[in-house]
């Protein structure tokens, strides 16, 4: 392996560990949630679905869903939302919940 390639790989790995938990949560959100909830968390109308995905930014959502409720929905799914519990380790779920909470600010 060349020195240049080693530096690129080391730089990429360092970048991951330099992210805050909320930034890692945002990455998880973008990979797993943004396709339905939108990059801004406001929910997107989806053809064929009568009920649009929840707007995660509203005061109503934030006040009626504590962290345990959000975790339960992420773990088990709800309505058309698939369960993510088997796809994400607990640390990523924690970071994702932290990020969802930040959408309400």
Domains and CATH numbers, the chain: 20-102 (1.10.760.10)
Which tokens is 82 given?
């698939």
Helix (H, G, I), strand (E, B) or coil at 78: strand
DSSP codes, 31-48: HHTHHHH-TTSS----TT
Over the stretch 21-76, which tens digit does the pLDDT of each residue have? 999 999 999 999 999 999 999 998 888 888 899 999 999 999 999 999 999 999 99
Q: What is the DSSP code (8-state) at residue 19?
A: S
DSSP 54: P
Spatial distance between the Cα atoms of 96 and 64, rounded to a whole number of angstroms: 18
Q: How confident is the model at residue 20 (pLDDT cuts 50, 70, 90)?
A: very high
């Amino acid at each position: 392996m060349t020195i240049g390639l080693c530096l690129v790989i080391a730089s990429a790995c360092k970048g991951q560990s330099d992210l805050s938990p909320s930034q890692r949560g945002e990455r998880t959100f973008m990979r797993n949630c943004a396709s339905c909830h939108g990059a801004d968390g406001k929910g997107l109308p989806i053809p064929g679905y009568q009920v649009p995905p929840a707007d995660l930014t509203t005061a109503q959502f934030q006040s009626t869903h504590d962290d345990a409720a959000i975790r339960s929905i992420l773990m088990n799914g709800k309505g058309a939302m698939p369960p993510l519990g088997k796809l994400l380790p607990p640390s990523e779920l924690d970071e994702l919940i932290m990020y969802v909470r930040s959408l309400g600010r």
